[in-house]
Structure 1
């Protein structure tokens, strides 16, 4: 008789665990950073799928928002503007410092929308990449060497 109750109890636990895992809300992927005293709300891009999609198909980005791509190691990373509707600035970051900046990366022309020919890449090794609206870097006086505070 005890084995029967143990079996039923185990089944109930498995059902509850499955229900919990299937209905669990995804973890928040937003965080705040400070750069040159300016606060930015950034969406973290951590998985390969998120990194590949990036800002593709988005119509805009709020004025104090960005996408932060986080890599496991420093290196040289290539970015394209596939299916982009607006221009961006790209900050290349190593640890907590801006090491390179790409100003005003242009959205693709109509004939390149699906497969842009222009590739943007850092000139100095980086382990993070931050995309913000074009002009944000200049407007906020961000320079190479700035320290970024991750909240």
Structure 2
């Protein structure tokens, strides 16, 4: 009889430990990070960017942290979406494709005009080291950089006017 009680107690303890482990795994910090990321997405500022009668809903990467992260880690982006990086004062800031999963067109904007485009910047190969990634630089200081899905820059040219309308938070 003592052996049956001991086996029952050990079994209950094992199930209790498994339950505690699973509870912690699904409700711990990782779950909080997912919630935090969702909350951050909801609070993003958005601008409407128009180039050559083509509109893009651009997520604004204003802070240093947002600019460092950019679109990296995302699997894709809707065709009419973009990310815009404001710089004040204008800068000759380098961009790279670290942790990107899809190709981009990088549009350099100064004084309300497209001054250059890096077409079809490819995502890095798996295992590529950061020091081996190319840096993309504007031809002159820019006050905005716009990242679009690769191929979107076919709809406009260098010299085209750019309108940026700041929208409320979504």
Q: TM-score, normalised by structure 2?
A: 0.69
Q: Which protein is richer in strand relative to its size? A: 1
> Would you say 1:148 and 2:147 are equivalent positions?
no
> Across the two proteins, how many residue pairs are aligned to each other?
125
Q: 1:122 to 1:69 in 2, by over 3 A?
A: same
> Would you say 1:117 and 2:133 are equivalent positions?
yes
Pick from 50, 53, 56 the counterpart of residue 40 of structure 1.
56
Residue number in structure 2 paired with 1:92: 108
Structural mapping, 1:51-130, within 5 Å: 51-112=67-128, 116-130=132-146
SS in 2 for 1:55: coil
CA distance in 2, matches of 1:99, 1:64: 21
Max radius of gyration: which structure?
Answer: 2
Gapped regions of structure 2 (runs ≥ 5): 1-41, 166-170
CA deviation profile, 1:29-59 (whole Å, cap 9, x unmatched): 1121211000110000100000000011011
CA distance in 1, matches of 2:105, 2:162: 16
Gapped regions of structure 1 (runs ≥ 5): 1-25
CA distance in 2, matches of 1:63, 1:130: 14
Q: 1:60 to 1:113 in 2, by over 3 A?
A: farther
Shift of 1:85: 0.4
Shift of 1:146: 0.7
TM superposition outliers: structure 1 runs of 4+ over 4 Å: 113-116
Q: Please provide the CA RMSD for this pair.
A: 1.7
CA distance in 2, matches of 1:68, 1:95: 15
Structural mapping, 1:10-25, within 5 Å: none
Q: Which protein is richer in helix relative to its size? A: 2
